């Protein structure tokens, strides 16, 4: 079993090392070496990816949420797949890659929400989430990320002329449909998983029982505080 001190060192290493490739690609893109046709878009994505891959390690360091290392690396691999291949211009060369990446990203975001809701349900006494609501929220959050991403692209175009939405409105709608199917895929998987296993059994396999119980108690105290302030 890894000691707490070793875990802190690993978390700090992840916080520093995971964004390094994106820093390099951002600098290359900034100086005009991005291989994507939409140079500004590819460079901007690298800049955002720097901070996105730092979220889960940062949450571990601050003891907000103890994401398993395998989960951190799966999510980071997905971000690398999107950002690096965008930088290399693969999206311009393979017509279906953009659709696949939207589907996969939405699926993984919905997976995060699904696991997070199961943890809240299992490790708090003041919060109860029915299975139907859990699946509904999983779907809505997975789909919402895709909508927010498209809105962000449109906003960057309007504010800075970034040229992120250089394709037609049909391309945007196709992206949203892929986000829809990605979130829906996780809901279907969630239905199957919850049919055979209880939430406690699912999150128990993550191996963070002691730490999450401590965090769950903090959430309960916050809920009690909010109720008293009403």
Radius of gyration of the chain (CA): 19
pLDDT at 206: 64
pLDDT at 127: 77
pLDDT at 159: 61
pLDDT at 7: 85
pLDDT in tens, 147-177: 887 887 777 666 656 555 656 677 788 889 9
d(CA 22, CA 102): 20
CB neighbours (10 Å) of residue 7?
Answer: 16
Domain segments of the chain: what residues? 1-94, 95-230
pLDDT in tens, 11-45: 999 999 999 989 999 998 888 888 877 777 788 88
pLDDT at 1: 59
pLDDT at 188: 95
pLDDT at 192: 92
Q: Which residues of the chain have pLDDT under 50?
A: none
């Amino acid at each position: 079993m890894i000691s707490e001190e070793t875990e802190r060192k690993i978390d700090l290493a992840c916080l520093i090392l995971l964004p390094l490739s994106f820093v390099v690609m951002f600098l290359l893109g900034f100086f005009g070496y991005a291989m994507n046709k939409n140079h500004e878009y590819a460079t901007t994505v690298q800049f955002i990816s720097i901070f996105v891959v730092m979220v889960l390690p940062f949450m571990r360091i601050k003891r907000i949420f103890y994401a398993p290392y395998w989960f951190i690396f799966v999510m980071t691999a997905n971000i690398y797949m999107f950002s690096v291949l965008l930088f290399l211009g693969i999206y311009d060369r393979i017509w279906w890659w953009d659709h696949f990446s939207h589907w996969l990203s939405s699926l993984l975001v919905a997976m995060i929400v699904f696991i997070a809701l199961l943890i809240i349900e299992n490790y708090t006494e003041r919060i109860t989430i029915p299975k139907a609501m859990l699946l509904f929220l999983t779907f809505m959050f997975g789909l919402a990320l895709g909508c927010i991403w498209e809105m962000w692209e449109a906003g960057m175009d309007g504010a800075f002329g970034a040229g992120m939405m250089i394709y037609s409105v049909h391309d945007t709608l196709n992206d949203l449909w892929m986000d829809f199917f990605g979130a829906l895929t996780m809901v279907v998987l969630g239905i199957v998983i919850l049919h055979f296993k209880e939430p406690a059994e699912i999150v128990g396999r993550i191996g963070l029982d002691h730490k999450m119980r401590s965090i769950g108690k903090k959430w309960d105290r916050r809920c009690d505080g909010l109720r008293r302030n009403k």
